[in-house]
A and B are shown apart, each in its own frame.
Chain A
């Protein structure tokens, strides 16, 4: 097994932030059809071991390339940039984040009506996230430093979306 292959190479795709997700899904299925442990039910232990390793690696590669934030972080790593745990962020962006967070608290306070508001809220926050993806795509080939800053913003917004989902679970009373 060639662990030196990067995730794009595993799927024989160009290393670009813009990924054709349908093509990615097709190639993922083609690869799993040839490496998945279920296809090696009769095989030797060595083949089974290799198959588990491959299937695990293909799953990891697929999830990373499929999800926009994971893909961005991975592309930074490919450029030898590891992200920090406590980055300094643009004050303007932080102000916007505080406002969005307060909006979420208001939704929580409004009880049952909150569920419909939450759908709109998520759509709005998703737009912010999509804009950041566009920024990243423009920056990754020109300025790693800017791209890195964009990833920190994406992490913030991603976390906010996760909190919106948790709020939905609370409102639905899970």
Chain B
């Protein structure tokens, strides 16, 4: 259940009231929050005027939590209690962590659900809780700047994040008490910012190389409609890998051949990042490392660094090639290339992108801020604030969805890069004579073998009448809504027996774990369950009240009879009447009554809207062309 902040009922009905919405770029290295206000969209600074919040969380022995610059300052001296780049751990299982490289100076534990946990001085924390602390710090900044609690946020994620990583991000937002309007792909957010700000049109490629993730997206921009054509990338490739390559170079050059301590690892990574940044403007940089028994003094040239970075950059270019092919376009069809993410400041990255696309890439909008700005624009639209320009995002499924079939093979049901919302049906049959149950195993990924894909959910269809193998017909329907949320249902055709699951991927937190954390977390300690239920019922009621009131004002006279209007107005009054009651069930019941009474009106409005969309076009018109 969404944990919404509600305004006073009377106030919310006022259509001129602007809601507080924000876009959050929850980055590997830095995070930002932006909001649309009078006069434009801007990222919000902290009290000392700094916009970037380092995505660093430090846990102290007195159980307090420090986020941002102050936490980063302690990174070298207190490595195990200071968590950096936590985004790389989001939605990952313990066994995934080993693939991320060995230089993670944390003490890991494994939770019951297979999630890695970090041991810190004040206890054990999950990556989701660490992310929630970053989100909370940003939200607080927005609350102070905008003068009130946020009504809703859009949080950006790498386009290539799978369901588990997305779910983990949503769980973090829930812990931070934020109402998530949508998770938005980072490159799509950047395209929105460019499209609305610089008026770029046509096919645009967004090359987004951040601290820990790489995304490439191709979009078609046309009069405010942003159509994602293809997306691809690598959720474990980013600036951190450049730093790691540099660190390995330094260790090799120093001749140090013993295991590195956590302090040494952290020192190396921080120094490497500094050297990388220096080399983005200089031809060479001094390297000075003094950490315990590791000691090195020397110089690295830009050419040497480029050689280290080249294999990583080539990996990103391969992903570009595939995305261009998936989009069904040729390189000359691409009008502009946009650079996003701090790692695109590396000159050899810019050169490689320019060479592949055959055009000089743009970085007119600050590559660090562009994602948060795009997210703020989308948040403003989704929260229901009206604006002058028409805007719509048509997003795609980033990874294919399928089912396990005999022999551990993955059968794709919906291919990657399919525009959502989408619904797709496929028929399967039984393998053995007399088989009465079937295990439906939902997987995500591009590989042929189930073991190489991400497992999302398992459920059973029981009660299949015994038949010879291959005779039963099982219809499986995959449905993905505009939020990218998947539900799967299976039906045996002759009897109609059905099983259904809303997919909540494993490796995220279980519902119980989230509830327990909520209970323990800062903002909910004193909140009473009854009060929460009433407040949720009111939020829902106000939303329906608003919707019906607005619909009546706009289309009531055109689409309804006088009697129908009177009926609806009575139901509205009834609901307004019970809104202040301290009875969640009563409010919910009256909300449902109003919703039901307005169902037919809603259907008529939708039909009218579709008719008017293509009004003026007729089949005759095409015949004349």
Using CB atoms and an 8 Å cutoff, list the residues of chain A in contact with chain B: 1-2, 11-14, 20, 23, 25, 27, 29-39, 41-47, 50-52, 54-56, 59-60, 62-63, 165, 168-169, 172-174
Contact = CB atoms under 8 A, between A and B. Distances in A.
B562 interface: no
A49 B292 CA distance: 63
Interface in B528-563: 543-544, 546-548, 550-551
Contact of A33 (B390, B603, B617): B390
Contacts of A31: 610, 613-614
A37 B421 contact: yes
Contact of A38 (B393, B547, B550, B614): B393
Given A47-B602, A172-B322, 17 more contacts: A1-B607, A25-B222, A29-B222, A29-B225, A31-B613, A31-B614, A32-B225, A36-B482, A38-B482, A46-B595, A52-B482, A54-B606, A56-B479, A59-B419, A169-B322, A173-B318, A174-B446
A34 B612 contact: yes
B181 interface: yes
Given A38-B482, A39-B392, A45-B595, A56 B422 contact: yes
A20 B619 CA distance: 13
A52 B481 contact: yes
Interface-central residue, B383, B419, B481, by most chain A CB under 10 Å: B419
A48 B284 CA distance: 58
Interface string B444-463: 00100000000000000000
B30 to A, nearest CB: 28
A35 B603 contact: no
B512 interface: no
Nearest to B424: A60
Nearest to A66: B328
Contact of B548 (A11, A23, A44): A44
A32 B392 CA distance: 8
Contacts of B222: 25, 29
B618 interface: yes
B603 A38 contact: no
Contacts of B595: 44-46
B177 interface: no
Nearest to B482: A37
A14 B623 contact: yes
A51 B421 CA distance: 10
Contacts of A50: 602-603, 606
Nearest to A37: B482
A148 B176 CA distance: 57
Interface residues of B, number: 53
B614 A12 contact: yes
B423 interface: yes
A29 to B, nearest CB: 5
A116 B546 CA distance: 60
A23 B181 CA distance: 32
A33 B181 contact: no
Contacts of B548: 44
Contacts of B384: 41-42
A41 B205 CA distance: 28
Interface in B461-499: 479, 481-482
Contact of B622 (A2, A13, A47): A13
Contacts of B543: 42
B565 interface: no
B382 interface: yes
Interface of B: 181, 222-223, 225, 227, 318, 321-322, 325, 381-384, 390, 392-394, 418-423, 446, 479, 481-482, 543-544, 546-548, 550-551, 595, 598-599, 602-603, 605-607, 609-610, 612-614, 617-619, 622-623, 625
A12 B610 contact: no
A130 B550 CA distance: 51
11 contacts: A13-B619, A27-B617, A34-B612, A35-B609, A37-B482, A39-B392, A42-B384, A42-B550, A43-B547, A44-B551, A45-B595
A168 B324 CA distance: 13
B605 A60 contact: no
Contact of B325 (A30, A52, A59, A165): A165
Nearest to B378: A38
A63 B610 contact: no
A25 to B, nearest CB: 8
Given A31-B613, A56-B423, A42 B546 contact: yes
A40 to B, nearest CB: 9
Contacts of A20: 622, 625
A34 B225 CA distance: 12
A174 B318 contact: yes
A168 B602 CA distance: 49
Given A1-B607, A38-B393, A30 B602 contact: no
A172 B321 CA distance: 9
Contacts of B544: 44-45
Contacts of B547: 42-44, 47
Contacts of B383: 41
Interface-central residue, A11, A39, A62, by most chain B CB under 10 Å: A39
A100 B222 CA distance: 39
Nearest to B19: A42
Contacts of B394: 32, 36
Contacts of A12: 614, 617-619, 622
Contacts of B606: 1, 35, 47, 50-51, 54
A123 to B, nearest CB: 11
A38 B381 contact: yes
Nearest to B319: A174
B422 A60 contact: yes
Interface-central residue, B422, B547, B612, by most chain A CB under 10 Å: B547
B318 A56 contact: no
A24 to B, nearest CB: 11
B435 to A, nearest CB: 22
